[in-house]
């Protein structure tokens, strides 16, 4: 096969991939998320890597634009994570609480209660598993596994702390935060 034809095929395959990704990102949030938080629209997306390993792809929707300075938790938002590897739900919950502690949010007693709540709702995941959380202002957080409800934590302080893992200006993943809130 002629080398120029091979290059052209690779070029068109790459172009099709870029178009596919663009179309996927333009999609509205899943209907199940809109039931809990109407009026959501795409804010941004990014990839979380740990020591170079892809852990998950993240997509954030909110009902209002997000500020680079702080997040307005009086508005609903939804975060969807598509995992790229197998992880235990307990480990995800424990790491989430570590991140919340590093942000200085909550008392030790609150974080202990939040950890138990997360251990109850966060499932084990495999590559391709989609976990979504919805911040419901004044109420708490709802969690979904592959589009099906898996639990709620009815504590507004928990919900703000949990979503701050990704959205607080002091997050441990500032590049992902920038990609999610859409401010470059």
For residue 39, the domain's CATH number is: 3.50.70.10
How many whole angstroms separate alpha carbon 162 and alpha carbon 3? 51
Is the pTM for the entire model greater than 0.85?
no
Residue 11 lies in a domain: no
Could you read off the pLDDT of 87-112 as tens digits, one per residue? 999 999 999 999 999 999 999 999 99
Residue 152 lies in a domain: yes
Looking at residues 40-57, what average pLDDT do you find?
A: 95
Residue 96 lies in a domain: yes
How many whole angstroms separate alpha carbon 43 and alpha carbon 63? 9
Residue 94 CB-density burial (10 A; 0-12 exposed, 13-18 middle, 19+ buried): middle
State yes or no: pLDDT of 8 exceeds 50: no
The domain total for the chain is 1
Give residue 83's domain range: 30-181
Residue 1 lies in a domain: no
């Amino acid at each position: 096969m002629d080398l120029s034809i091979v290059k052209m095929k690779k070029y068109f395959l790459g172009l099709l991939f870029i178009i596919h990704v663009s179309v996927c990102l333009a999609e509205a949030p899943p209907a199940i998320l809109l039931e809990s938080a109407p009026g959501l629209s795409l804010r941004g997306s990014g990839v979380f890597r740990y020591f170079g390993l892809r852990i998950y792809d993240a997509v954030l929707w909110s009902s209002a634009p997000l500020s680079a300075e702080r997040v307005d938790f009086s508005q609903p938002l939804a975060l969807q994570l598509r995992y790229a590897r197998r992880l235990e739900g307990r480990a995800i919950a424990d790491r989430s609480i570590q991140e919340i502690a590093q942000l200085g949010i909550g008392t030790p007693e609150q974080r202990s209660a939040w950890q138990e709540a997360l251990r109850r709702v966060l499932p084990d995941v495999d590559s391709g598993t989609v976990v979504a959380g919805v911040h419901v202002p004044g109420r708490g957080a709802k969690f979904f596994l592959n589009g099906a409800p898996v639990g709620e934590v009815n504590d507004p302080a928990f919900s703000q702390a949990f979503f701050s893992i990704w959205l607080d200006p002091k997050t441990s993943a500032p590049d992902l935060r920038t990609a999610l809130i859409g401010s470059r």
